[in-house]
Amino acid sequence: MHDMDVAVDRILQAASAKERIFVHGDFDVDGLSGAAVLYLGLRPLFPANSIKVEVGDRTHGHGLSRPFVLRAIEEAFDLVLTVDCGISNADEIKALGDAGIDTIVTDHHVPPPDLPNAVAIVDPHRTDCAYPNQNLAGVGVAFKLICGVYERLGRPFPAHLLDLTALGTIADLVPLAGDGDSENRALVKEAFARIGEDAGSSMGLRALMAKLSVNPKKISATDIGFFLAPKLNAANRAGDPKVAFLLLITEQQDQAEYLAEILLDYNRDREIAQNDLIAQAEQMIREENLDPQSDGLLFLTGKYWNEGILGLVASNLADRYRVPAMILSKNDRISRASCRSVGGFDMNACLRHHADLLLQYGGHKMAAGFSVSNDLLGELEEKVLAYAATHRDSIPQAEPDRIDAEIRLDEVDLRFYTNLNSLAPFGNGNPAPRFLVRGCSFQALTLVGNRRHHLKGRAVQEGTAVPLIAFRLGKHLSRFEESQDAALVCHVNFDDWRSNVQVQGIDLVQAEAQ
């Protein structure tokens, strides 16, 4: 990557001179895990207590803040390292430089036209960077920096940091494979193998997995995306993100257990606040007679809405209405927003197009944020809706379900599953394959789960029966019972409880529609 050699040189210079380093990571899981990777990776190279970490908070927003800069100057640090941020902090980096403090930026966000005056800027999105994987998460860039340092020193590959790298990579929803490159998938796959073998993985991460009943030997991207990452993110939404960072770096079992419990408490508070805000947003859509599909973009503003959960609400509404969503919290003078996109709509490009109206903005194609003066809210809403109207072709009205291949139930066995699983880990950019099985009927169907929302039974095709589980399809029990010649859309997975291969039903297609 461009500037990698420069960054490695400066870090080794700092290690040789026993300088003091201040690491600043963003407060989401990507930034938290990236800060932990830099801290744990650099700690063996520096004297004790010479590396300090700050993971920021929502009070001061994303990126380097003025209080951070003042603290770095007052405490006379020699070098600042950023993780998952910094590319848009030209003023803050200049202030550090004026005080004699060098800055190395590691980031994965799209750079502004003018780069900050840092010693090194390691970001695969730089226009002058030829690195083939532009989809690295912030933690991925931090990990590559540690790899560069270790390679220069002749130290072994830092495989002990792969679990944290996989954590942030999956949590930040960067593609595991895309544009012909699958480095992210390789990192995650190797991390999962090490976690399953308990090979030097984070003690805090293992403690959290145990409390959530996540089996480390069978860990998946779903486990991280739906169970682990939300608990870590809850710290920045309903508590203190330092708790999540400390969990990732702790080497004491009792502290790991204690911090994991705090995160679970934070998450319960987060769930309550999130559900309440989604209900408020839905009520506003009804009362104002908004038609997101017709408008092409959802723009909602609420007075003093909890900024910690705006992103979750934006994601929920974008998924539900299949349009980009901008959800804003209106404070006394300034409103702050979290934005989520769908399809090919480039959210970062949209904000860049309206930069003259914004106080600050940044992010990715699919997720971004901004702040705006309340005096300009009306004008901004009008213009982004007009912008969305001219980019309707990039916004899917209804995404068709993808089916990868047609199979027969007599093909579904352990060998089939083992071969299929060699394509894992599945996730964003590498989705689990969907199969079509024609001519199905179903037997021994029962409703299962705490709320009896799921279906369990057997799928039968020409005398071959395979165990079936169909999550959230319990309301369609009668349709399954009455099917005699239906096509089942499904995944193929493994039932840990009964140690056999099963099909996971996604949808049912009657014969006349096939």
CB within 8 Å of 267: residues ≥ 6 apart = 230, 231, 234, 238
Alpha-carbon span 19 to 353, nearest angstrom: 42
- Taking each helix axis from N to C end, the angle separating 162-171 and 229-238, rounded to the nearest 10 degrees, works out to 70
Share of the chain above pLDDT 90, in %: 78
Other C-beta atoms within 10 Å of 511: how many?
12
- The answer to whether the CB of 49 falls within 8 A of the CB of 20 is no
CB within 8 Å of 293: residues ≥ 6 apart = 321, 322, 323, 397
List the CATH code of the domain at 290-394: 3.10.310.30
CB within 8 Å of 514: residues ≥ 6 apart = 438, 487
- The answer to whether the CB of 108 falls within 8 A of the CB of 141 is yes
pLDDT value for 310: 94
Share of the chain above pLDDT 70, in %: 97
Beta strands 435-448; 486-495: pairing state:
antiparallel
- The answer to whether the CB of 139 falls within 8 A of the CB of 191 is no
Radius of gyration of the chain (CA): 24
pLDDT value for 366: 84
- Do 290-394 and 405-513 share a fold? no
Name the stretches of the chain with pLDDT < 70: 200, 395-401, 510-514
- The answer to whether the CB of 202 falls within 8 A of the CB of 164 is yes
Assigned CATH class of 405-513: mainly beta
Alpha-carbon span 198 to 188, nearest angstrom: 15
> Any idea where the domains of the chain sit in the sequence?
4-261, 290-394, 405-513
**Which residue blocks in 54-172 are alpha helix, DSSP H?**
66-74, 90-98, 138-153, 162-171
CB within 8 Å of 119: residues ≥ 6 apart = 6, 7, 10, 102, 103, 104
Alpha-carbon span 51 to 72, nearest angstrom: 12
Select 4-261's CATH number: 3.90.1150.10, 3.90.1640.30, 3.40.50.970, 3.40.309.10: 3.90.1640.30
Alpha-carbon span 194 to 199, nearest angstrom: 5
pLDDT value for 398: 45
